[in-house]
Amino acid sequence: MISHANLVINSQEYPISKVQQDQRKLLVYWADGHCSTFHYLWLRDNCYCSKCGDPSHGAKRFRIVDVPLDIEPLSVSWDSGNTLEILWKPDGHKSIYNANWLRQHCYSATERQHRQHRPILWNRNIINHLPQIDYQEAKTSDQSRLQLLEYLRDYGICFVRNVLPQTGELESFAQSFGPLLETNYGRVFEIIVDPEESQKSVANSQINLIPHTDDAYQYAPPGIIFFHCLMANNDGSGQSTFVDGFQIAEILGQEDSEAFDLLCRYEVPFRKYYSDRIDMRFSSPVFCLDSDGNLKEVRISNLFPAPLDLPEEIIEPFYLAYRKLMQFYTDPRYCLKQGLQPGDLVMFDNHRILHGRTAIGIKNQRRHLRYCSIDRDYFHSWWRLLDRNLSF
């Protein structure tokens, strides 16, 4: 149930051993014994010759509507197992495919499953093996930077240690991954106890904040979130808390499949309202699945709920499912509690990891975190580029 599709990059070479033409598809046999089926329509659609597109960056000039549904080859040949060449009817157009590219895009059930990345689910015991990395190493070493990105990919979270506790370090580091997102609070948000600002953001309050998805009321919530600690309370209050939303989904699905199904099918509405300046609303299922039923995203927030708008007969069973969900994600067994200290920075995937904070005492208001975020697209892009470059 828990997987991320299309995150696995495989640089292994796969020579072709045999090719067999069928009525509407091509059967490609590989040296390792695997057989791929490629429909002619798919092959023609994925021709990136100079006429059909630009192979250097993937821009397509070809239109699938210009190809007959019953297209088939005039001839098929392959060279030393590394290149497949097809001449197409009726115009003799030539398409050339790299064998490794074809294998990497084979859409058989086994290969599609093989390409799916399976994240490492965790509970509070992650405290014994925290995904963490040194700041200078992450800044200066591509290998260390890749390690950081792999932690984010696998665990959804990574702690960066020994960051200078001063203004500017957060922006500099975050921008090395991608452009900072502009939010209601600006590109960088100062998280400090401030009674006036707490009316705009609960992050500036002293109350206990149970784990949640940030900005669940937005169509596209922030992707990768960064917290940089400049000051910490000296009494242990105001500790950061983190919960693996994918782990919670897995447990709920195993213990109560009907509750899990309700939270996948029906939307929960969220709303952020502040005076005459902000009125944001969005509804989404708690768990978003892909077409194969794999979990893609978790969206949980008890901070900004709007009234449920569901069919009458669904209200009570949905509340039962919602209560069970909250019992899990507020259970200490699944919560990582970390008192961030000056010089600590934490990065996490807001579409997977829930975060919160313990209450801050009235007399202890030293805690100062700085916040920013980037789109997840840039995280995935950096990971692919570094993984590809360091594999050669």
What CA–CA distance (Å, rounded) separates 296 from 153?
Answer: 12
Half-sphere exposure of 377 (CA within 13 A, CB side): 7
Domain with residues 124-390, CATH architecture? 4-Layer Sandwich (3.60)
Confidence (pLDDT) at 79: 86
d(CA 42, CA 383): 28
Task: Write the CB contacts of 209 (distance below 8 Å, at least 6 apart in sequence).
Answer: 202, 203, 303, 356, 357
Q: Return the pLDDT at 204.
A: 75
pLDDT in tens, the chain (392 residues): 565 544 455 556 789 999 999 999 999 999 999 999 999 999 999 998 988 988 677 788 889 998 899 999 999 999 877 899 999 998 999 999 999 999 999 999 999 999 999 999 999 999 999 999 999 999 999 999 999 999 999 999 999 999 999 999 999 999 999 999 998 788 999 988 876 665 567 877 788 899 999 999 999 999 999 999 999 988 888 899 999 999 999 999 999 999 999 999 999 999 988 767 788 999 999 999 999 999 999 999 998 889 999 999 999 999 999 999 999 999 999 999 999 999 999 999 999 999 999 988 777 678 899 999 999 999 999 999 999 898 86
Task: Give the three-class secondary structure for 380.
Answer: helix
Query: Are 361 and 131 in contact, with CB atoms under 8 Å apart?
Result: no
Question: What residue spans define the domains of the chain?
Answer: 16-115, 124-390
For residues 134 and 162, what is the distance between their CA atoms, to the nearest angstrom? 6
What's the confidence (pLDDT) of residue 392? 63
Predicted confidence at residue 39, as pLDDT, reads 97
Strands 132-134 and 157-161: parallel
Nearest-angstrom CA–CA distance, 368 and 227: 10
Q: How far apart are CA 306 and CA 216, in angstroms?
A: 11
CB 253 within 8 A of CB 1: yes
Q: From 3.20.20.70, 3.30.565.10, 3.30.2020.30, 3.60.15.10, which CATH number describes the 16-115 domain?
A: 3.30.2020.30
User: 327: burial class by Cβ within 10 Å (0-12, 13-18, 19+)?
Assistant: exposed
Give CA–CA dist 77/104, Å, rounded: 19
User: What is the maximal distance between C-alpha atoms in the chain?
Assistant: 81
Beta pairing partners, 21: 26
Residue with token string 């360091």: 390
Residues 102/52, Cβ–Cβ less than 8 Å: no
Query: What Å distances lie between residue 26 and 10, 81, 86, CA to CA?
Result: 23, 15, 10
If one counts every other C-beta atom within 10 angstroms of the C-beta of residue 281, the result is 14
Q: Which of 334, 264, 332 is nearest to 296 (CA)?
A: 264
Would you say how long the chain is, in residues? 392
d(CA 188, CA 180): 8
Query: What is the distance between the terminal CA atoms of the chain, rounded to a whole angstrom?
Result: 33
Separation CA 164–CA 318 (nearest Å): 47
Give yes or no on whether 16-115 and 124-390 have one common fold: no
Distance between CA atoms of 329 and 323, rounded to whole angstroms? 10
Q: Are strands 25-30 and 35-39 parallel, antiparallel or unpaired?
A: antiparallel
* 317 contacts 323 by C-beta, under 8 angstroms: no
197, HSE (Cβ side, Cα atoms, 13 Å): 12
What residue type is assigned to position 235 of the chain?
A: D
